[in-house]
Amino acid sequence: MMKPHWVMGLALVLLASPANAQVVQVTRADARHSIGFNLGYFSLKGEDARDVDDVLLADQADLALRDRPESKLEIGDLNNITFGGEWLYAPSNFLETGVSIGFYQKKAATQYKDLVNTNGTDIEQDLKLRVVPITATVRFLPLGRDHAIEPFVGAGIGFFPWRYSEIGQFVDGNNDIFNGRFIDSGTAVGPVIVGGLRFPIGDALTAGAELRWQHAKGDLKTEGFLSNTIDLGGLNAAFSVNFRF
């Protein structure tokens, strides 16, 4: 007669066998969803590529036309680090759709180059821009989602809640110095183009790099700005990590 512990062991093996038969190995291509996080650097369009009615260009032009000293502001002073997150869904091995949200903010301290207050102090201003891009994209992966390297290109639409301010001292057309506080905000809409590479690390993790170009313009309605447009276009270069499930 079989001993009780042998009977129990045989029963466990028989019960486990059907369950083992149902196990199917899941690869990274089978995981349709992914959540990603990114850290990057946003560069505004340069002076030669900005909208002709951009408020930053208007400030520079106004100084030149009135023969006033040039401000030390450069467009690149408003470039800064960005971060964000995204959710992606793959309806096929070569196609992904997704939505993402990011955050960018930068304050540039500026001053007139040669003109000072009567007490000798600098005439200073703080220019601050904040953008929270919310984008929806479709991406094409020519090598698929199960390759050792996963290049992708895509396009979509972006919604760009923004806030822009100029606060400090300014000089008017008569060279009179005055304190000013000009603030405006809104939401702009525009196209987005993306491209990059991802490198799978196992079946559930990928790391990569991405370039994201955006084009959008905000309307400045507050009186006091030298133009009624703020150009929000630029290029974001970011490193990303995605978790697939």
Domain borders along the chain are: 4-244
pLDDT digits (tens, 9 = 90+) for 132-149: 999 999 999 999 998 899
51 touches 89 (CB < 8 A): no
pLDDT tens digit string along 108-130?
A: 888 777 778 888 888 888 999 99
The class (CATH top level) of 4-244 is: mainly beta
Four-CA torsion 85, 103, 186, 46, nearest 10 degrees: -120
> 125 with 168: CB under 8 angstroms?
yes
The answer to whether residues 242 and 201 touch, using CB atoms and an 8 Å cutoff, is: no
* pTM of the predicted model over 0.75: yes
